[in-house]
Structure 1
Amino acid sequence: MLTRDQNELLTRVGPGTPMGDMLREYWVPACRSDKLEADGAPERIRLFGENFVAFRVTDGRVGFMQEACPHRCASLALARNEDNGLRCIFHGWKFSVEGKCVDAPTEPREQRERFAQSVPVRSHPTHEAGGMIWVYMGKKATPPRFPDYEFTGLGPDQVQPIRGIIRTNWLQGLEALLDSAHVGFLHSANLNSAAGRAIFKAESDYMLNDGAPVFEFVDQPYGFREGAIRDEGDFRYARVREVSLPLFAFIPSSPTGPRIVCCSIPIDDETTAQWYISYDTDAPLSYNILVDFGQTSGDPGYFNSDMGGPETMWNQDRAAMKAGHWSGITGRGNAYEDFVVQESMGPIVDRSQEYLGTCDRVIYRARRLLLEAVERFQATGETSFADDSIDFAAIRAVSFAYPKGGDWRDIETHVAHALAAE
């Protein structure tokens, strides 16, 4: 349980807020790479309560700058994208991919260049990786090291990022990604389905058999490693989640095949972009995440646009519940069920009213670490979870069965046994 003041500290992300300023010091995904065509339409992006445009210029480079033209605040999402820059359709002012004003044709010719150089424009560095455009919105003159997770170096046939948009605060989104105890309940119908068993295989039974796993943790420089241990009688089953704070959670899966990493990116205080990044390091992805991940709207940039809301009770099917479906969120994947529950809490849940149990140890741990991180940032300006020694590419969540008497932390041994058994 948090106090109201602590909850405010963790959830508010607008300009000048402690958490908002801290999160801006990390590289965050802004949009899918394929949304930006060279000399094509700029993409409107809202992050941390502010409005921007992302655009790809003639030579393929990507820019990211304030949406409002610094002249008279017309939207640069309407701008002409040509000759390696954006030109505002209102008065023709032009901006380079670096976010500098390079032409102000409404000014006298003899002072035009000097005037253009004086125009203040807010822009931010970008990095293209993993099928996404990433942006650094912090205050450092030199951006921090990019977190080169293993999916960021893969080609387009090996990684599929899709984005959901939910009407909740970013912390609700993150906490849903961290909560392993709900899987055997909220997602039980999906785990029991033919599609679920095809994807999760024996894991479905393991998660359904034991709804009260034992949680153990190992601190890591990037956050922590969580072992959710289930007793399966003759052996134990471990789901080892990797939490790369402050934004990413790696979802456990079998040692072979596709993997999923998720992140919760604030659009503003009450809206969140939830990214699901499916990837396979060894081969082209064997499935289409938009289809096999769960029936979706078909738009990879907003895959849950058909989810409904409180006015329709998120299209919950009570007849299906009476017939045995747990949640009543039918014909949809796990993400939809998570999103419905998160939105049902309200835009920013009052965590001072919660009553946490043993299954919430991961929630308590994440909140404590985030509070420590933002308080450290307030005091020193230094960020946490980003030490130069971190090998981001080695972070990988996994699940496996192992003998009683064994230690789940001996991951390499258990994974080797699992691979040998396949």
Structure 2
Amino acid sequence: MMSSEQNDFITRISAGTPAGTLLRRYWQPVALSDELEGKRPIRPARLLGQDLVVLRDESGRLGVLDRDCPHRGADLAFGRLEDGGLRCPFHGWLFDVQGQCLETPAEPAGSRLCGKIRQRSYPVVEKSGIIFTYLGEGEPPAFPALDCFQAPDSHVFAFKGLMECNWLQALEVGIDPAHASFLHRFFEDDEPESAYGRQFRATSSDSDMPMTRVLREFDAPAIEVDKTDYGLQLIATRPMSDDKTHVRVTNLLFPQAFVIPLSSEMTITQWHVPIDDTSCYWYAIFTSFTTPVNKTHMRNQRLELYTLPDYRPRVGRHNNYGFNVEEQLHKTYTGMGEDINVHDQWAVESLGPIQDRTREHLGQSDKGIIAYRRILVDAITKAVNGETPLMVLTPDEAAAIQGPATMDGVAPSNSIDTYWRQVDANRRNGASWKKRD
């Protein structure tokens, strides 16, 4: 258990807090590219407790600005895109995507006020369907050469969803291999053809057994956790017989993402991004190693669960997570429907707005969470002391962070490590978009 002071140290993220200081050292997702499509490519955003406006101007340039107009504080998210920038409807002050004031129409002719005004702007980059911004001081770090950033647009799909809880408890579910056998247990298996784009529905590599059956019948994985240059690698093994073992390889990508297999063809890279202390968005990039992603299908699947424009879940705390007693008795372990996002939503939101870790009792199956918290505390301490924390990368360092490897398959029990590495290498080397040395 930890003290309330220690819990605050790793969860609170507003400006000036220890964890907030750390997270401002990294690029953070601030919007989906899809959110800036249509007639009015302007979106309000709240990130790490700061109110921002995200826009794409008439020339296609991206900008992230503080949301309050520097004149009288009006909301620039209601501004007009015109004349090369974003114009405040209150008095017509105009700003470009770098925050430079271009016009102050009501000022007298010859006024020099405009040249002295600058709205705070932030570095912004668009990658694989997500718009990232950097809220920290100094130069942003380089992006690692992850699969999700190396694949072409045709082979990636990005989406997000709102969670009404602290970012850390939302992230920790993704580095907990043990929960899947219970929280995501189904008493019946779907047909393989319905598995596309759905977590834990496809068959594992070198097996005709659906993942739902694996989780149901082999519910006590052995978990190995190894430190890496990017964070942690987690290997969960489930012996199925004397000569066959199910192995699942996942990763914690510091500071707040994980990389996991969706199927033998796809991986998920997912960030948990604080809106403020008590809410967050998950942002995910789905990466295909084989055929182009069916983006229309993937998007329609997820829009059955989330409402626009804020990507709020249709099923959540407000309607008891869809809980049904008969379903819990006969169909799913939770009784909360068939989508695992709803299961995760309940699990992390039920811990409270900010989980009270003074009351938890961790076990051996929580070794990934324990290892991550140690890395997190160390990185926060370094950031507060002005040192360089893990994954604040130079270009050369970033180029060396590749992959990372994920897999879900059934291995010969006497060669698990060799097996999963070879399966990952075969998939990676077979990708049409993979850069060759």
2:260 is equivalent to residue 262 of structure 1: no
Distance 1:279 1:162 in 2: 12
Structure 2: which 5+ residue stretches go unaligned? 430-437
- Which of 393, 405, 408 does residue 414 from structure 2 map onto? 405
2:403 is equivalent to residue 394 of structure 1: yes
2:361 is equivalent to residue 351 of structure 1: no
| Aligned residue-pair number | 413
- CA distance 1:39–1:72, change in 2 (3 Å): farther
2:254 is equivalent to residue 245 of structure 1: yes
Equivalent residue letter for 1:177: G
- CA distance 1:93–1:7, change in 2 (3 Å): same
**1:282 aligned counterpart, secondary structure:** coil
The alpha-carbon deviation at position 244 of structure 1 amounts to 0.7
2:67 is equivalent to residue 60 of structure 1: no
Distance 1:323 1:260 in 2: 30
Distance 2:281 2:184 in 1: 21
Distance 1:143 1:409 in 2: 37
- Which of 304, 309, 313 does residue 305 from structure 1 map onto? 313
Q: Is the 8 A contact 1:39 1:58 kept in 2?
A: no
Equivalent residue letter for 2:4: R
The alpha-carbon deviation at position 146 of structure 1 amounts to 2.3
- CA distance 1:217–1:409, change in 2 (3 Å): farther
Structure 1: which 5+ residue stretches go unaligned? none
The alpha-carbon deviation at position 318 of structure 1 amounts to 1.5
The alpha-carbon deviation at position 38 of structure 1 amounts to 8.0
2:153 is equivalent to residue 150 of structure 1: no
The alpha-carbon deviation at position 223 of structure 1 amounts to 0.4
> Which residue of structure 2 aligns with residue 78 of structure 1?
78
Distance 2:330 2:413 in 1: 37
> Which residue of structure 2 aligns with residue 336 of structure 1?
342
**1:182 aligned counterpart, secondary structure:** helix
> Which residue of structure 1 aligns with residue 119 of structure 2?
121
**Pairwise CA RMSD:** 2.5
> Which residue of structure 1 aligns with residue 391 of structure 2?
385
The alpha-carbon deviation at position 222 of structure 1 amounts to 0.9
Distance 2:218 2:21 in 1: 41
- CA distance 1:219–1:257, change in 2 (3 Å): same
Equivalent residue letter for 1:102: L
Q: Is the 8 A contact 2:185 2:333 kept in 1?
A: yes
Deviation digits for residues 367-404 of structure 1, max 9, x if unmatched? 11101110111123422123442434422321222222
Distance 2:201 2:393 in 1: 38
Distance 2:55 2:247 in 1: 43
Q: Percent identity?
A: 29
Distance 1:359 1:227 in 2: 12
**1:226 aligned counterpart, secondary structure:** strand
Q: Is the 8 A contact 1:221 1:387 kept in 2?
A: no
- CA distance 1:419–1:124, change in 2 (3 Å): closer
TM-score when normalising by structure 1: 0.91
Deviation digits for residues 347-368 of structure 1, max 9, x if unmatched? 0010010011111111111111
> Which residue of structure 2 aligns with residue 199 of structure 1?
202
**1:199 aligned counterpart, secondary structure:** coil
- CA distance 1:347–1:418, change in 2 (3 Å): same
Distance 1:253 1:409 in 2: 21
Equivalent residue letter for 2:20: G
> Which residue of structure 2 aligns with residue 315 of structure 1?
322
> Which residue of structure 2 aligns with residue 182 of structure 1?
179
Q: Is the 8 A contact 1:41 1:77 kept in 2?
A: no
More relative contact order, 1 or 2 (CA 8 Å, 6+ apart):
2
